Amino acid sequence: MTTPSLLILPGDGIGPEVMTEVRKIIDWFGTKRDLAFDVSEDLVGGAAYDKHGVPLADETMAKAQEVDAVLLGAVGGPKYDNLDFSVKPERGLLRLRKEMDLYSNLRPAQCFDALADFSSLKKDIVAGLDIVIVRELTSGVYFGEPRGIIEEGNERVGINTQRYTESEIARVARSAFELARRRGNKVCSMEKANVMESGILWRDVVNEIHQAEYSDVELSHMYADNGAMQLVRAPKQFDVILTDNLFGDILSDCAAMLTGSLGMLPSASLGAPMANGRPKAMYEPVHGSAPDITGQGKANPIACILSFAMALRYSFDQGAEADRLEGAVEKVLADGVRTADLLGEEGVTPVSTTEMGDAILAALDASL
Ligand code: IPM
Ligand code: MG
């Protein structure tokens, strides 16, 4: 068997800091679990712009297409706020998603017992929470044409287009149903069929796929605004939430905060299977580049580390090793180890990014 390949794109802000910890974890699996990866590293976002004048060089894009999985840190920062839209750091990320055709974005929101007090919601509403948002990632208003800012009469008009084809809806719906079968067997699909034609089609296609292929899975539908309300009212009613690109962006930030800290949440973006059977895949923490704490050793590396756990599970068929890594994170949190984003308990001194990584390594060692 050939060694699986990983392309690491640390990006901007705290991206490189958290990725340093992930590399330690990757090395651990190589030496202690005989699970070696062929790791290469490249630039994305502002870091790529600084070197190449674009947020993702063509060579990097080509590399991303070839590897078994991409691991991305974060992109963006105030330094790049005034760049032309076409070369903003975020465009690098969107190019990866689009050209790799990563249509299914899995965003789990899981509340670790040790952290239930950190949520802005009451503990009993979030304790034990374990839901996944499946967000469509390659279409909708993020990419729809026409788009732009045009002149009309004596004023400017901003235009974006929400557009979904049946096949785009069908493939992400299948991915949500498949995931639900491996979990709580429930899918709630969210759109705005009350005001948008694309929402009507979304609901129709989800129903068709459900009837034809997944009638064993429990399916419900909600308008996305009600879904947002239900997410903060009673989030545990959900198992898998299926939604489009823009609603998914918003609802997943909302779901993320239920768990107490954005610094905890990983994500996987999956596409069609490659020749070797593995899906095209990119893994990234849900948090951004956090310019306010960059370079201070304060960042929480857990979201990025858990993103690597998702890679073990979804790209490399190493569910047991993913469980091991997730277990190590859980253990460290149960032991009271906290980065600065997780403070609030009396008498707790925060650990640095590096110390958190080391604590997780120690917990991994203890798991053997
Ligand atoms: C996300 C982010 C991105 C998005 C940005 C950085 C382009 O908010 O992954 O949720 O809007 O999709
Ligand atoms: Mg977002």
Q: pLDDT tens-digit profile of 145-158? A: 999 999 999 999 99
Ligand 1, atom 1, lies closest to the CA of: 249
> HSE (CB half, 13 Å, CA atoms) of 276?
15
Is 283 an annotated catalytic residue?
Answer: no
**pLDDT interval class at 119 (50, 70, 90):** confident
User: Across residues 299-328, what is the average pLDDT?
Assistant: 97
Instruction: Write out the two tokens for 134.
Output: 């499946």
For position 281, what pLDDT does the model report? 98
CA of residue 249 to ligand 1 center, whole Å: 7
Known catalytic residue: 249? yes
Shortest-distance Cα residue to atom 2 of ligand 1:
249
Q: Is the CB of 74 under 6 A from ligand 1?
A: no
Residues with CB under 5 A from ligand 2 (ion): 249
Distance (angstroms) between ligand 1 centre and the Cα of 35 equals: 31
Q: Which residue in this structure is represented by tokens 């756990």?
A: 309
CB of 93 closer than 6 A to ligand 1? yes
What's the 58 CA to ligand 1 centre distance in angstroms? 21
Query: Cβ(42)–Cβ(7) under 8 Å?
Result: yes
Confidence of residue 248 (pLDDT cuts 50, 70, 90): very high
Structure tokens at 64: 């991303």
Phi and psi (nearest 5°) for 141? -70, -15
SS3 category, 49? helix
Alpha helices in 187-295 (DSSP H): 197-213, 224-233, 245-258
Index of the ligand 1 atom closest to the CA of residue 93: 7
Containing 272, the helix (H) or strand (E) segment is strand 266-273
In this predicted structure, what is the pLDDT of residue 77? Answer: 96
Mean pLDDT to the nearest integer, 117-145: 94
Task: Examine the pLDDT at 253 and tell me if it is beyond 80.
Answer: yes
Pocket test for ligand 1, best of 75, 93, 141 (most atoms within 8 A of CB): 93
**pTM for this model (two decimals):** 0.95
Nearest CA to ligand 1 atom 10: 249
In contact, 164 and 201? CB cutoff 8 Å: yes
Is residue 345 over pLDDT 80? Answer: no
What pLDDT is stored for residue 256 in this prediction? 87
Name the pLDDT band for 1 (thresholds 50, 70, 90).
low
d(CA 169, CA 172): 6
Q: Atom 12 of ligand 1 has which residue's CA nearest to it?
A: 249
Task: Give the mean model confidence (pLDDT) for residues 218-229.
Answer: 98
Note whether 75 and 11 are within 8 A (CB): yes
pLDDT bin (cut points 50, 70, 90) of residue 260 is confident
Catalytic site residue 253?
yes
Rounded CA-CA distance 27/119 in Å is 33
| Chain mean pLDDT for the chain | 96
User: Measured from the CB, is residue 231 less than 6 Å from ligand 1?
Assistant: no
Residue 268 has pLDDT above 90, yes or no: yes
Q: How confident is residue 339, by pLDDT bands cut at 50, 70 and 90?
A: very high
| Shortest-distance Cα residue to atom 11 of ligand 1 | 249
246 Cα–ligand 1 center, Å: 9
What is the structure's pLDDT at 221? 98
CA of 166 to the centre of ligand 2 (A): 24
Ligand 1 binding pocket includes 47 (Cβ within 6 Å): no
Within a 10 A sphere around the Cβ of 356, how many other Cβ atoms? 27
* Angstrom distances, CA of residue 46 to CA of 22, 51, 222: 21, 9, 38
179: β partners: none
The pLDDT of residue 348: 85
Dump pLDDT digits (tens) for 90-118.
Answer: 999 999 999 999 999 999 999 988 888 88
**Is the CB of 90 within 6 Å of ligand 1?**
yes
Could you say which of 27, 117, 253, 323 is catalytic? Answer: 253
Q: Is the pLDDT of residue 299 over 90?
A: yes
| pLDDT tens digits, 48-75 | 999 999 999 999 999 999 999 999 999 9
Q: Using 50, 70 and 90 to split pLDDT, how confident is the model at 192?
A: very high
Give the confidence band of 174 by pLDDT, cuts at 50, 70, 90.
Answer: very high
